[in-house]
Amino acid sequence: MNINVLSEKNKVIQLLENSYSGRINNLPRSIETAEIALQISRKLDDKSLIGKSLNQLSLYYMIISDFDQSNKKSEEAIVYFTELNDDIGIADAKYNIGSVYYKTNNYHAGLVYLIDALKLYKKNNDLYNQSKVEKAIGTIYEYIGDSYNAFKSYKSSIKIAKKIGEFNLESNVYNNLSGLLLKREKTKIAMSMIEHSITLKKKTNDTRGYAFAVYGRGKIHFKNNDLEKAESDFLDAVETHKQMRENMGAAMGLNKLGILYLKLELFEKAQKFAQEGLELSIKYNMSMIKIKNYHLLYLIFKKKNDNIKSLEYLENYLREKESVINTQTLKVIENYDLINKMNLLESEALLQKEKQITIEKKNRDEEESVRLKQEFLSIMSHEIRTPLNAITTIVTILDSQIHGESKKLLRSLQFASDNLISIVNDILDFTKLDSNKAKLEKHNINLSELCDDILNLNSGLARNKNLNLNLITNINSEQNYLLDKTKLSQILSNLISNAIKFTDYGKVDFTVEMLKQESEFDTILFKVTDTGEGISESDLLEIFVSFSQIKPIMTRKQGGTGLGLAIVKKLVELHNSEIKVKSTEKEGSEFYFELKIRKISQEIITTKTNFYQLKDKLALLAEDTPMNALLMKKLLSNWGIITDHATNGKEAFELAKQKKYDFILMDIHMPEMNGFESTKLIRFNKNLNNTTPVFAVTADVMTKEDKENAHLFNGILWKPLEIEKLFSALAKEIEVKNNES
């Protein structure tokens, strides 16, 4: 080898070593050094060094939240390392991609890439990177609410880090564990752990890691109401993160400072930090932090009695939250396909070694894939539906207290939350829909009111783009029809939001036109027309195909409803109709379909529920979310029910041994002991409530499919709660008891 070439290669290796070791306290310098290494490597045409340089740069761009650059570098690195058959290089790139996915809230895809990277690291006995990936996997499990698997991954990461003497890796995991313990109210253990992490960070001179640890300590101080110390830690963390260009860490700290100053009623300071955090989260597409800051600014302006600004930020909060949930549903569908492809590739590789082993492995992988999908859907449905339960319960409580114009605003909030629930339900029912097993659930619906609600739901999105959103209709506002409100809303909302998304100027027209009137049926045309970018002829052939996308998901400006046109097509076909499209590039598109629907007279609801039949009844509520517990107790007290509250399954069983209840409302996902375990103890161990009616009150839609445990309950009530169903279930049990006596 030429001496000059060898010298240049050694120079690249040294540059990369310097870059990596310096990342913990001078990230901008590390990026600059790695870029120089990449330039030299390209001149040398050394694929291994090019790949290593790209992977380092991908890591650094991920840290500063430049996710597009990070993924671009990783994908290029994979090409080089695949050609070189370099497992470690491929694993490094997949680790970076997986980390970008979970940092941008695509947890399922992140898990797929990280598990794939972990397999390669284990294959090559790379303990350092095994520890690093286990920590990242634990973070994902924590984000999606699976604390059991989060602890399991964190424990594995610490064990490996200790084995190889990597204090930095070890202390990183202590940060996460401390936060997990804080959520469980174990503040003393959490503080001990975070102080140990800070000590290790000082020992290793890890400036960036130190900032995260100090931020973690600030959260504990805030929890303990030691606000002066919390403020000091948050300010320290933000300043350090800014110096390191760690944008996500800075945005997190700014949000916490805003919350702290709001608590101190220093509204101007709270607003300043919240808006700075919001600007940072918008710039770097940090959806969850953006949502937190919108909500924080809503609370700040509400306290300042600025109702216009408060309402504006509340609308932004609800819209952004809906967008994240919708995007998540789309990503879940996409990643089903990704998991299946991953398992297929793994099976093909094993086939080259031993055919029989491959067949057995493939069967196991398919079973695991099904299990993972069900587990993920269970967790995601719980995490999405639980906060929605608080919204719908508040709306129900406020309904009898609010009048006039505020009633209209409350109705819009109710419709928006109902729409989110519908989206979640539809995506969880995707398999049934895809296998043509779904059925229409028709009810007496006023079509004119439904169209107004759909228009209002999307009007904010149109306003933000300075577009005119128009409803054009000749439908009799007094006429009701037999319709599936949920599915028709999904079709129309998806078409309208798509039209707005791909239209930068002009208007979107939502047309509902009577085509034919008969004695029992009307034939109605539904049409959404826009003045947007249009669709090419080649794309028109693909837009209704499952999993096809005109534009890559990472480049989309906004999240849609998450169902996609393939699902719209199936929903329209479920109505015995066909979705059609006309489009001209640079002029706009028109999506339309016709429905023949049965006319029905308007419902006049005159019955009034007799809530007094539940007066003085005694209920045990097991619920770990404070807000949901507070709202549920308020709701039950309105019916005259006296409620005891347990924060976990263990407490519920202890209370069941002390007092006889008329009914028990049991959440499923709780710390210490879950709802299944608690109900088994109540049913089969000596206590006063062996035969007491127990209702599962849960956001986990997989509860009904759990054949081992579902029989334990007298019924399952889904979050967000439908208040009338809750009342009916409780009243029915009282009626049965009275008849028996």
* pLDDT of 299: 92
Alpha helices by DSSP H, listed for 603-667, are 626-638, 649-656
Q: What is the predicted pLDDT for the residue at 342? A: 40
Q: Among 186, 208, 234, which residue terminates a domain? A: 234
Distances (CA, A) of 543 to 35, 226, 280, 537, 579: 40, 55, 34, 10, 11
**Please, which pLDDT band fits residue 107 given cuts at 50, 70 and 90?**
confident
Instruction: Assess whether pLDDT exceeds 60 at residue 66.
Output: yes
Q: Is the pLDDT of residue 222 over 90?
A: yes
Task: Work out the average pLDDT over 363-377.
Answer: 55
Are 485 and 581 in a shared domain?
yes
pLDDT at 250: 92
CA 514, 516, 520, 524 torsion-angle sign: negative
Contacts 24+ apart (CB under 8 A), 512-517: 512/447, 512/451, 512/471, 512/472, 512/473, 512/474, 512/475, 513/472, 513/473, 513/474, 513/475, 514/474, 514/475, 515/594
Three-class SS state of 75: helix
Q: What is the CATH number of the domain that holds 632?
A: 3.40.50.2300
What pLDDT does residue 392 have? 61
pLDDT band, residue 569 (cuts 50/70/90): confident
CB of 384 within 8 A of CB of 377?
A: no
Do 196 and 150 lie in one domain? The reply is yes
Structure tokens at 358: 């491959």
5 & 59 share domain: yes
More confident call, 57 vs 334: 57
What is the distance, to the nearest Å, from the Cα of residue 320 to the centroid of all Cα atoms in its chain?
11
Q: Cα separation of 364 and 600, whole Å?
A: 52
* ∠ CA 216-222-227, rounded to 5°: 125
Give the pLDDT confidence score for residue 329 in this predicted structure: 41
Same domain, 424 and 450: yes
pLDDT at 203: 86
CATH number assigned to the domain comprising residue 423: 3.30.565.10
Strands (E), 647-736: 663-666, 694-698, 715-718
Contact 644, 620 (CB under 8 A): yes
State how far the Cα of 537 lies from the Cα of 584, in Å rounded to an integer: 9
Number of domains in the chain: 5
pLDDT reported for residue 394: 64
Q: What is the pLDDT of residue 258?
A: 93
Give the residue among 239, 259, 263 at the shortest CA–CA distance from 249: 239
Does residue 295 sit in the same domain as residue 434? no
Secondary structure element (H or E) that encloses residue 614, with its range: none
Listed residue (132, 320, 289) closest to 215, CA to CA: 289
Look at residue 36 and tell me whether its pLDDT is greater than 60: yes
Comparing 75-79, 334-338, 646-650, 656-660, the range with the smallest average pLDDT is: 334-338
Given 191, 206, 234, the domain boundary residue is 234
Same domain, 69 and 130: no
Look up residue 161 and give its amino acid. Answer: A
DSSP string of 520-537, one letter each residue: SEEEEEEEEEE-S----H
* Model confidence pLDDT, tens digit, residues 599-633: 988 654 444 455 567 888 999 999 887 767 877 88
State residue 345's pLDDT score.
42
DSSP 436: T
Residue where one domain finishes, among candidates 122, 144, 174: 122
The single-letter DSSP state of residue 603 is P
Q: Please say if the pLDDT value at position 546 is more than 50.
A: no
- CA-to-CA distance for 196 and 617, rounded, in angstroms? 50
User: Which residue type occupies 523?
Assistant: T
Determine how β-strand 507-517 pairs with β-strand 663-666: unpaired
Pick from 194, 205, 185, 183: nearest CA to 230:
194
Highest mean pLDDT among 95-104, 456-465, 721-730: 95-104
Asked whether residue 731 carries a pLDDT value surpassing 80, the answer given is yes
Task: Take residue 584 and report the two structure tokens written for it.
Answer: 């001209």
Task: Show the DSSP H helices in 575-722 as ranges.
Answer: 626-638, 649-656, 675-684
Q: 436: how many CB neighbours lie within 10 A of its CB?
A: 9
Plot region of 85 (φ>0 → left; ψ -120 to 50 → alpha; else → beta): left
Q: Do 54 and 23 sit in the same domain of this protein?
A: yes
Q: Read off the pLDDT band of 324 (50, 70, 90).
A: low
**Is 606 within the bounds of a domain?**
no
Question: What is the pTM (predicted TM-score) of this model?
Answer: 0.44
- Between 164-168, 245-249, 313-317, 391-395, the lowest mean confidence (pLDDT) is in 391-395
Structural domain boundaries, residue 468: 402-600
Q: How confident is the model over 261-316, as pLDDT tens digits?
A: 999 999 999 999 999 999 988 888 777 788 889 989 989 998 999 888 888 888 88
Higher pLDDT, 679 or 438: 679
pLDDT in tens, 431-441: 455 545 567 88
Strand ranges (E), 412-549: 443-446, 468-473, 480-483, 507-517, 521-530
Residues forming a β-bridge with 471: 510
- Find the distance separating the first CA and the last CA of the chain, reported in whole Å: 97
Instruction: Tell me which residue has tokens 């597009």.
Output: 68
DSSP secondary structure letter of residue 549: -
| Integer Cα distance of 694 and 715 in angstroms | 7
**CA dist 299 → 83, 267, 293, 387 (Å):** 54, 10, 10, 17
- Neighbour-count burial of 731, counting CB atoms closer than 10 A to its CB (0-12 exposed, 13-18 middle, 19+ buried): middle
66 vs 156: CA distance, rounded Å: 30
Q: Is residue 660 over pLDDT 90? A: yes
Longest dimension (CA), the chain: 99
3 state SS of 248 = helix
Nearest CA to 56 out of 106, 13, 12, 92 is that of 92
| 474 shares its domain with 617 | no
In a domain, 253, yes or no: yes
In a domain, 41, yes or no: yes
Residues 561 and 630 in one domain: no
Q: What is the pLDDT of residues 38-64, one digit of tens each?
A: 999 999 999 999 999 999 999 888 888
State the burial class of residue 85 (Cβ atoms within 10 Å of its Cβ: 0-12, 13-18, 19+). exposed
Q: How far apart are CA 577 and CA 570, in angstroms?
A: 10
Residue 386 falls within a domain, yes or no?
no
Place 415 in a pLDDT band, splitting at 50, 70 and 90: low
Instruction: Report the distance separating Cα 570 and Cα 494, nearest Å.
Output: 13
Residue 693 lies in a domain: yes
H or E stretch at 329: helix 307-351
Q: What is the mean pLDDT of residues 448-467?
A: 87
| Average pLDDT of the chain, as a whole number | 81
Predicted pLDDT at 331: 44
Band the pLDDT of 513: cuts 50, 70, 90.
Answer: very high
Instruction: Report the distance separating Cα 160 and Cα 126, nearest Å.
Output: 10
Given a cut of 70, whether residue 543 has pLDDT beyond it is: yes
Instruction: Please name the residue that has the structure tokens 């054949």.
Output: 707
More confident residue, 340 or 230: 230
Cβ contacts of 209-214, under 8 Å, gap ≥ 24: 209/24, 209/168, 209/171, 209/172, 209/175, 210/240, 211/236, 211/237, 211/240, 211/241, 211/244, 211/246, 211/249, 212/172, 212/175, 212/237, 212/249, 213/171, 213/174, 213/175, 214/240
Give the DSSP letter string of 371-432: HHHHHHHHHHHHHHHHHHHHHHHHHHHHHTT--THHHHHHHHHHHHHHHHHHHHHHHHTHHH
Q: Are residues 431 and 311 in the same domain?
A: no
Q: Is the pLDDT of residue 370 over 60?
A: no
* C-alpha distances in Å from residue 229, one per residue of 172, 214, 498, 532: 22, 11, 48, 53
Instruction: State whether 192 and 215 are in the same domain.
Output: yes
User: Is residue 393 assigned to a domain?
Assistant: no
Within a domain: 110: yes
Cα 88 to Cα 171: distance, rounded to the nearest angstrom: 24
For the chain, the residue count is 741
- Maximum average pLDDT range among 18-22, 129-133, 178-182, 458-462: 129-133
3-state secondary structure of 241: helix
Q: Yes or no: say if 273 and 261 are a contact pair by the CB < 8 Å rule.
A: yes
Same-domain pairing of 484 and 596 = yes
Which pLDDT score, from 0 to 100, does residue 716 have?
86
715-718 and 507-517 strand pairing: unpaired
Domain for residue 361, yes or no? Answer: no
Tens digits of per-residue pLDDT, 583-603?
Answer: 998 899 999 999 999 998 865
- Position 340 confidence tier, pLDDT thresholds 50, 70, 90: very low
One-character DSSP codes across 269-306 = HHHHHHHHHHHHHHHTT-HHHHHHHHHHHHHHHHHTT-
CATH number of the CATH domain containing 216: 1.25.40.10
Rounded to 5 degrees, what angle do the CA atoms 517, 519, 525 make?
25
Q: DSSP for 124-172?
A: TT-HHHHHHHHHHHHHHHHHTT-HHHHHHHHHHHHHHHHHHT-HHHHHH
Which span out of 446-450, 543-547, 631-635 was modeled with the highest average pLDDT? 446-450
Residue type, 103: K
